[in-house]
Amino acid sequence: MRDDFSQKIKDLLANRVGWKCGNPNCRKATRGAGTEKTEIINIGVASHITAASEGGPRYNKEMTVEERKSYDNEIWLCQSCSKLIDSDVKRYTVDKLKKWKEISEQMAVLDLEDVAINNSNEDKVLMRFFIQCFDRPAFQDRICQEGRMEDFDKAIEDTLIALNTGILRTRDGSILKKAEGKSAVVNAEWRDKLDTICDMLVALRKRLRIAKETGAYSTYGEGEVMYCFYDRELERWFDSTREEILKIISTICEDIGVHGLYFHKRTYRW
């Protein structure tokens, strides 16, 4: 009678090596998608280090049934390597297989660390792109110093598009740069901050539209038209909201080691 592993033990074993062959010189992937959407193909085997029954490879009669069925007595292998270790028991000893298992689990951890590092680097490159999207007058000048409210609204819209799609356009609509949208950011904290910024940008556009419909501001001057807000609280809200947006962006700048952005609140004498 064979002392076989439970499915729970098999899954634990496979997961701890990332569903890759436990032979450090092989490490073939053993799991993937099947033809049907609900189908998974598995070519991995939970192999016994010491045989499941008497007469098998590396059988140890001193082991109890529970020891023979335990996690410590199994190694996850592709079908080829599973056949290999049972075909040459002198070469593939118990000690050697246990060492394989230990090394493979360590390599699975390193795989995760490499992914984390790569994701972090990709996030930083993407965040540098997003930071550039805010390097424009719409996030530098007070609202009363805007030349045209239509241009201001367009700049906010273009920034939203850049965050969501990764496409940064110039004022005339030409594509300046391409990247990925904020959904590609792996860092959950940074992604949440970008989502918050997008909500604030949408609020800016809505309040601007309402301000225009209700006549909350008037224009004066020729050439470089200036705007006068009758509602001074609303004027301060436009400035403080953009200042807060740059503060949020600057917290990410600090994380990736670049200079932050600031709303300068520049004033002029006319």
- Any idea which residue has 């023979």 for tokens? 68
- Containing 168, the helix (H) or strand (E) segment is strand 167-169
Q: What is the pLDDT of residues 146-159, one digit of tens each?
A: 778 888 898 999 99
Q: Measure the CA–CA gap between 179 and 161, rounded to whole angstroms.
A: 12
129: burial class by Cβ within 10 Å (0-12, 13-18, 19+)? Answer: middle
3-state SS class at 42: strand
The 3-state secondary structure of 74-88 reads EEEEEHHHHHHHHHC
Mean pLDDT of the chain: 85
Q: Measure the CA–CA gap between 152 and 11, rounded to whole angstroms.
A: 56
Q: Where are the domains of the chain?
A: 7-114, 133-256
Answer whether 12's CB lies under 8 Å from 76's CB. Answer: no
Answer whether 4's CB lies under 8 Å from 52's CB. Answer: yes
3-state SS class at 41: strand
Mean predicted confidence (pLDDT) in 232-261: 90
Q: What is the pLDDT of residues 83-133, one digit of tens each?
A: 999 999 999 999 999 999 998 888 888 777 655 545 568 888 888 888 888
Q: Measure the CA–CA gap between 88 and 215, rounded to whole angstroms.
A: 88
Output the six-digit token pair for 149. Answer: 């409210």
Mean predicted confidence (pLDDT) in 174-203: 86
- Among 9-13, 45-49, 69-73, 218-222, whose mean pLDDT is lowest? 218-222
Does the structure show a pLDDT above 90 at 47? yes
Q: Measure the CA–CA gap between 190 and 194, rounded to whole angstroms.
A: 6
Answer whether 17's CB lies under 8 Å from 108's CB. Answer: yes
| Percent of the chain scoring above 70 in pLDDT | 89
**Buried/exposed 185-211: b ≥16 CB within 10 Å, e otherwise:** bebeebeebbeebbeebeebeeebeeb
pLDDT band at 270 (very low <50, low <70, confident <90, very high): very low
Q: Measure the CA–CA gap between 175 and 166, rounded to whole angstroms.
A: 10
Reported in sequence order, the residue ranges of 86-245 that DSSP labels E, i.e. its strands, are: 167-169, 175-178, 217-220, 226-229
pLDDT band at 184 (very low <50, low <70, confident <90, very high): confident
| Percent of the chain scoring above 90 in pLDDT | 40
Answer whether 226's CB lies under 8 Å from 270's CB. Answer: yes
Mean predicted confidence (pLDDT) in 246-258: 90
